[in-house]
Structure 1
Amino acid sequence: MPVDMTHPVLTTLESVLDTARPLTSGAVADYIPELAKVDAESLGISLVSSRGDVHDAGDSDIAFTIQSVSKPFVLALALDEHGLDEVTKHVGLEPSGEPFNAISLDAETGRPLNPMINAGAMVTSSLIAGATADEKFAVIKDGLERFAGRDLIVDEDVFDSETSTGDRNRALAYLALSTGSLAASVDVATAAYFRQCSVAVTARDLAIMAATLATGGVNPTTRERVISEDAARWTTAVMTSCGMYDDSGTWMVNVGLPAKSGVGGGIVAVQPGQFGIGTFSPRLDERGNSVRGVAMLEALSKRYGLHMLSHRGEPHSPVGSLRSEEGRTVAELRGEIYFAAAEEIFTRLTPLMNDDGCLVLDFSNVTRVGLAVKELFRAVPQLVGETSSGQPRAIVVDPDGVLDEA
């Protein structure tokens, strides 16, 4: 019979909620009338691992509108459809250092500075396939649903409110149109964008969506490839420098996770290769970021060393052991081997590839090898050639085929 116990990760998330709960500064967004009606006390967090394990605490299942948290995911869809070169003809990749609704256009090209501000996000939405707003939004909604792993709905009251108060966004869209950046009419682009922002999600949805970026574009709960690995990497990079508006630099110093906030109260954060986090708390600071959401993610990062630039000490050596065997030196390799590990292997072991014997590189205990690094190891026997007696200087033993092309 299983023992009834609290999962340690749940305890962690609950403690983060306790850290943020006393904070009462900030206010709900009221420039969109429907957003002013939300419960300011709602507070939730969810963490989803790259294996698809879901951990929730607090109000993680309360629905709210995704707002600007949709921006990186729609960017990812556009990148997957058109590629980086085409997308960046229309929108830049540089931080603006300005509020989300600022007029931030490149002085030379006229492009919006990045896809995380409103002007750039409307350009990104305009790039999605479809001649009408409904057609574009159908593609966007399908993509967001594949990121979340479930069907999503539009909060029509919020959409109506967005539409009736969206004159500034229309003005930004007209500016983008005047520079040739907008890929659709203003009416089509803004209508698709307003509806995109009005999609209802939960903190759990955001965590799954973030985990999909963390795993290189594969939803870890459905196992569906949603976008390409390139699109996931490019999107995460833009989130790193631009995701928290004019607070992005401070965010990266204090938290160090690629993230995106929205005025609906959500924040999505990515730990590449490991997990995604979604938070929900509607009170916003002066920059439009959730006060409690920022506090929760700061607490998690500082307590558990989540900063993506943290130094975690010397990695384990990929060379498990060296032994002599019938005139050969056998190097038992282990773990995951990417460029840094390959550099150590070649630096330490290349001197052993000489006329006195043969070096055997045994990959039996290796779990994963970087794609480009595979090519280096497959080429080793040809690169080092043979001894003067015609024997190979190096042999690669790969019983599980970890060096096979993926």
Structure 2
Amino acid sequence: MESPIQEYLESLLADVQRLRGGEPYRVHPLGREPNPEDFGICLATVDGRVYSVGVADQEFSIQSISKPFSYGLALADYGFDAVDEKVDVEPSGDPFNQISLAPVTGRPPNAMVNAGALAVASMIRGGGGKSAVRRIVDTYSRFAGRDLSSSRSVFDVEIRHSDRNHALAYLLSSVEVIENDPSRALENYLRQCSVQVTCRDLAMMAATLANGGTQPVSGEQVFEIDVVERVLSVMMTSGMYDDAGAWVSSVGMPAKSGVGGGTLAVLPGQAGLAVFSPPLDGHGNSVRGLETCRRVSKDMEMHFVRAARSGRSAVKDTMEISRFPSRVRRTEEEAEVLERYGDRARIIEVTGDLFFAGTESLVRAVSELEDAVVFVVLDLRQVYDAGRLARQMITGLQRQLAAAGRELVLVTGEEAPALIVHTDAGPDGHAAPVPVFQGLGEAVEHCEDALLERYGAPISVTERVPVTESPALDLLEEADRERLAALMEHRFHEDGDVIRRVGQRFGGVHFIVSGQINTIATNPLGERVRLNTLGAGMTFGELALGTADRQETTEKAVGEVEIMVLTPEAIEVLEQDDPALALQLWRALTRDAYSLVDRYLREAAVRLTY
């Protein structure tokens, strides 16, 4: 099933594609003119999942998006103090190529403008048999998770159009910010700008920064967290140059753009976003890249103020409903169907807040379920807050599931976020609303009933099972069953009648002929909870004989109930008049009771949480 996040990105691509304006960067090798219609969006999570639409795998020049990664390499090589002596960390408010240095020290304002990037490039040295450029490209490759390369043809054309950068390099040399050959510093800088990347590469590079410097797929720690912290801080204040203030306000993610048409944004702890679209605005930023980032930040609630609350927790567990059987004690036929088809219904347990990271992991868990799963139960009782994105994505999941003949079921508890409780089926109003339950038990019972209906064993609460046909007496001959029936009392109860109460002494063996009985117990918190529901053909009361002759649960009628009771007095008569039949009866009831106790032991812990 396609993820609603993928669906959203496809819709966003089509919408932003219509945006016009801007011009592609004019410096490029002959025959490699950028196509203004190229447009790709990639979103990579910190665990390596990549959502991509459009032109995601076409290579282009990384250009200024290289700056934060080289800055991080210099910090890792020399330490903060040494780098800070050459490059400040203050936002400049100036264009990327502005010739603006500190009056006394001559330091560039930050590493994101060209002057700062040239200073950083001059500091990176070769080592381990590798040149400085090779080390730079290798670092980028470790972030991207694949081998990257620098284009010689792009470098050649860049070097011919770099008079201003030449001037900056020599100016920095004159104030001893660049201490070695300024031409070599410029060459290293332009070679790093000429590295070829795809939109997917940039998303993974951003996700590595979001993941504290650990590459999500390879697991390699490329930068330590203190370096990542500094790099993202400078990106937040200076990555978008003289548009940085508006960017922080409207997007709220550390970001970097490049004249090659790329835009990279980082949501720390959660995801990396990359956009490729060549037309640039007056600041040198991609027109569609800016709009895409603004839309994604707003629609997916990725502004750092909102996202800081959400963390990375969401899907706690995914399991078949057979691990959480309902309270209803099923017939043998029904139990066989549920055993065979129980894997067609899954419970996804969710915890934490549902903002971007939590919602994405939830959506992914549902989207990746096998097509054979027809009922999806989202247990949201441990979700304490949720954003607009959660409702949009859950609604999208419901629509996709319904279109495929599948069903979404929600378990919300009493304090679930209202925006989730009110999720509906869609704008047409024709589909049934999403079933919402306060407890997991009711949701599982709903799914079991639906599975029984779907796979050939429809339940029937009005079914009547004469005591002579009770499964508990299967071991007995027909004549013996008739004799036992003759000893029983015929009783009727109205809805809500308490048939047996906790603490009562053994009151006989009760055979349900028709209707339903709720078994009610007290959980460890002192709350009364429904332990199970018994139907026609089932028995109760006999377990009191194994618990010091004391009733441990309350049995309450659901609707009209017909019961046949083998009273203690009738049992005493039977034991005196026909001990052989009495022995057969106890053998049959013992077998049935062992089966029931075994199931209670397996389910008790789950039941008491219902």
Q: Normalised by the shorter chain, which TM-score bucket?
A: 0.7 to 0.9
Does the CA-based 8 Å contact 1:25-1:291 persist in structure 2? yes
| Aligned equivalent of 2:81 | 85
Out of 167, 170, 174, which is 1:174 matched to?
Answer: 170
Deviation at 1:8, TM superposition (A): 1.6
| Aligned equivalent of 1:153 | 149
| Aligned equivalent of 2:38 | 42
Deviation at 1:127, TM superposition (A): 1.1
Higher relative contact order (CA 8 A, sep 6+): 1
| Aligned equivalent of 2:254 | 258
Cα deviation 1:344-372 (Å, max 9, x = unaligned): xxxxxxxxxxxxxxxxxxxxxxxxxxxxx
In structure 2, give the amino acid aligned to 1:304.
Answer: M
In 2: Cα distance, 1:88 partner to 1:206 partner: 27
TM-score by length of 1: 0.74
Does the CA-based 8 Å contact 2:29-2:153 persist in structure 1? no
Q: Are 2:339 and 1:305 aligned?
A: no
- 1:36–1:248 CA distance, 2 compared to 1 (3 A): farther
SS state at 2:272 partner: strand
In structure 1, give the amino acid aligned to 2:304.
Answer: M
In 2: Cα distance, 1:223 partner to 1:310 partner: 27
| Aligned equivalent of 1:235 | 231
SS state at 2:285 partner: coil
In structure 2, give the amino acid aligned to 1:26.
Answer: G
Deviation at 1:158, TM superposition (A): 1.0
Out of 53, 64, 79, which is 1:57 matched to?
Answer: 53
Deviation at 1:96, TM superposition (A): 1.1
Deviation at 1:178, TM superposition (A): 1.1
Deviation at 1:168, TM superposition (A): 0.8
Does the CA-based 8 Å contact 2:43-2:52 persist in structure 1? yes
Q: Number of residues paired by the alignment?
A: 313
Does the CA-based 8 Å contact 2:310-2:352 persist in structure 1? no
Does the CA-based 8 Å contact 1:105-1:112 persist in structure 2? yes
In 2: Cα distance, 1:311 partner to 1:282 partner: 29
Deviation at 1:19, TM superposition (A): 2.6
Deviation at 1:224, TM superposition (A): 0.5
Cα deviation 1:381-403 (Å, max 9, x = unaligned): xxxxxxxxxxxxxxxxxxxxxxx
- 1:295–1:11 CA distance, 2 compared to 1 (3 A): same
SS state at 1:309 partner: helix
Aligned-pair identity in percent equals 46
Deviation at 1:335, TM superposition (A): 7.6
In 1: Cα distance, 2:279 partner to 2:32 partner: 10
| Aligned equivalent of 1:140 | 136
| Aligned equivalent of 1:280 | 276
Out of 90, 102, 105, which is 1:94 matched to?
Answer: 90
Deviation at 1:9, TM superposition (A): 1.6
Out of 109, 118, 124, which is 1:122 matched to?
Answer: 118
In 2: Cα distance, 1:104 partner to 1:60 partner: 36
In structure 2, give the amino acid aligned to 1:10.
Answer: Q
| Aligned equivalent of 2:65 | 69
| Aligned equivalent of 1:223 | 219
- 1:304–1:243 CA distance, 2 compared to 1 (3 A): same
Deviation at 1:310, TM superposition (A): 3.1
Deviation at 1:17, TM superposition (A): 1.0
Does the CA-based 8 Å contact 2:301-2:307 persist in structure 1? no
In structure 1, give the amino acid aligned to 2:180.
Answer: A
Out of 182, 185, 196, which is 1:189 matched to?
Answer: 185
- Structure 2 gap segments, 5+ residues each: 312-350, 354-610
Q: Are 2:237 and 1:247 aligned?
A: no
SS state at 1:211 partner: helix
- 1:80–1:60 CA distance, 2 compared to 1 (3 A): same
Cα deviation 1:62-101 (Å, max 9, x = unaligned): 1100000000011111111111111110011111111111
Deviation at 1:142, TM superposition (A): 0.8
Bigger radius of gyration, 1 or 2?
2
SS state at 2:263 partner: strand
Deviation at 1:312, TM superposition (A): 7.9
In 2: Cα distance, 1:313 partner to 1:77 partner: 30
In structure 1, give the amino acid aligned to 2:195.
Answer: V
Does the CA-based 8 Å contact 1:72-1:115 persist in structure 2? yes
In structure 2, give the amino acid aligned to 1:307.
Answer: H
TM-score by length of 2: 0.49
In 2: Cα distance, 1:314 partner to 1:231 partner: 23
Does the CA-based 8 Å contact 1:35-1:264 persist in structure 2? no
Does the CA-based 8 Å contact 2:68-2:231 persist in structure 1? yes
Out of 293, 297, 301, which is 2:289 matched to?
Answer: 293
